[in-house]
Amino acid sequence: MTVRGPLHIAFVIEHPYVDALACFREPIKAFAARGARVDVYTRLTATHPAPAFSNPRIRVIPVDITYPGAVTLLARLAMHRPRYAAVLAAPQWGLHWASTASSFSAAPVGYISDELIVDGELTTAAQRRWKMRERRDHQRCAFSIALSQDRADFLRGLNRLPGDHPIHVVPNSSPGPAERHQSHFYQELLGIAPNRSVIVHAGGMGWQPAEALATAAASWDDTMPAVVFQGRLPTQMQARDSRGAVWFSPATLPASLLDYAISSAHIGLALYDDRKANDRLMGTASGKLCLYMKNALPVITTRLACFDWVEREGCGVRVRTTDEIPDAARTICADYDRYAEAVREYYARHLDFTQTFEPVIQAVESLAGRTIAAA
């Protein structure tokens, strides 16, 4: 029997902030924009804003990360009609149940590698069991999406994938082009002088260098750049006091407003430590880095090998410690237009989601044997 109508695509993402990260948000939007019916199975919590998608083809379906919730998810995935043309899932819980459902429905599963979970960093028997499941489930997938080439190469060995397993490299970025909006968002919200350089750190405070910078910049005077920390959740910045050259933005912004806010800064900060493989291999998997560059901001990153291209391509400066950040900012500001132009050029060549995601669209259409919006 010939199946007519648009393809049906499912995403199984246990993270509650599915629309806050480009690596999830943009594929969901891209399939719907092509005409697919997209079901997003995700967790809702009281502390995270509910995902918001304006396209009526996208349906958000809450899931419970419990065994009864897993049974319900399994049934919905396995019994959905028409059969899902592809189920894209992130490790580990969502991937496991998507893979299990596939054994009944035969719907192909795609692996979205957002976090690298490495055996040597696991500390409990339960974590090791989940890693074994992840590896087995990943080997059954039809294709994978990695957020950088370095991570793709590492992932193939980590999960023991065969040499012919397709891994598509799609950086954690939005559709281009890179452009900076006319904005004074942080200046007006926080009372920062309009002629003062603003360095922004977008995201959580879970990295030691970010905390170190917040401490150091609290003693800077007004001749130094202003440092703005933009959190993702309402609770992240509420207990912190702005002082010295540090401002903690009280605004929790949806993805649709982040570009406008970030454009009011001058330089973006991507600070990571080297304790985990996931951070050592961050590169273009960094959502904050890609967010800054989407808004044509030069960047300051930690001096990790995964960011060597930042200096090589003229997009910014790497630092070893937070003490080097003021000098790095001065270096960028002394030749700002050149750095900003290099960012725009690099984004167009390597980060524009419109180009990087096209091979995934083609892979799903090939698996389905027809185009996404076929009548």
Instruction: Compute the mean pLDDT over every residue in the chain, rounded to the nearest whole number.
Output: 93
* Residue 309, token pair as written in the block: 């291209």
Q: Provide the pLDDT for residue 253.
A: 83
pLDDT in tens, 163-210: 999 999 999 999 989 999 999 999 999 999 999 999 999 987 666 778
pLDDT at position 236 = 65
Tell me whether strands 299-302 and 8-13 are parallel, antiparallel or unpaired.
unpaired
pLDDT in tens, 100-122: 999 999 999 999 999 999 999 99
Q: What percent of the chain has pLDDT over 90?
A: 80
Say yes or no to pLDDT of 28 above 60: yes
Statement: residue 47 has pLDDT above 60: yes
CB 331 within 8 A of CB 287: no
**Which residue is listed with tokens 């900003």?**
340
Mean pLDDT value of segment 262-277: 94
- Model-level pTM? 0.93
User: How confident is the model over 151-175, as pLDDT tens digits?
Assistant: 999 999 999 999 999 999 999 999 9
The pLDDT of 39-66, averaged and rounded, is: 92
**For 320-341, what is the mean pLDDT?**
96
Q: Residue 206 has what pLDDT? A: 66
pLDDT given for residue 360 in this prediction: 98
**Higher per-residue confidence, 52 vs 138:** 138
Percent of the chain at pLDDT exceeding 70: 96
Q: Which residue has the tokens 């399939």?
A: 31
Q: pLDDT at position 21, please?
A: 92
Question: What pLDDT sits at residue 255?
Answer: 80
Confidence of residue 45 (pLDDT cuts 50, 70, 90): confident
Are 228 and 262 in contact by the 8 Å Cβ rule? The answer is no
Contact 229, 246 (CB under 8 A): yes
pLDDT tens string 304-326: 999 999 999 999 999 999 999 99
Q: What is the pLDDT of residue 374?
A: 62
pLDDT band for 262, please (50, 70, 90 cuts).
very high
pLDDT score at 172? 97
Contacts of 75-78 with C-beta under 8 Å, sequence gap 24+, read 76/41, 77/10, 77/12, 77/41, 77/101, 77/102, 77/105, 77/107, 78/104, 78/105
Q: What is the DSSP string of 43-63?
A: ---SSSPPP----TTEEEEE-
Residue 1 above 50 pLDDT? no
157, 125 contact by CB (below 8 A):
no
Q: How confident is the model at residue 375 (pLDDT cuts 50, 70, 90)?
A: very low
Residue with the larger pLDDT of the pair 209 and 22? 22
Q: What is the pLDDT of residue 200?
A: 96
**Residues, the chain:** 375
Mean predicted confidence (pLDDT) in 272-299: 95
Cα angle 171, 305, 17; round to 5: 35
Structure tokens at 313: 């391509």
Q: Is pLDDT of 215 > 60?
A: yes
pLDDT above 90 (res 295): yes
Report the DSSP beta bridge partners of residue 112.
Answer: 145
Structural domains present in the chain: 8-170+357-368 (3.40.50.2000), 185-351 (3.40.50.2000)
Neighbours of 337 (CB within 10 A): 8
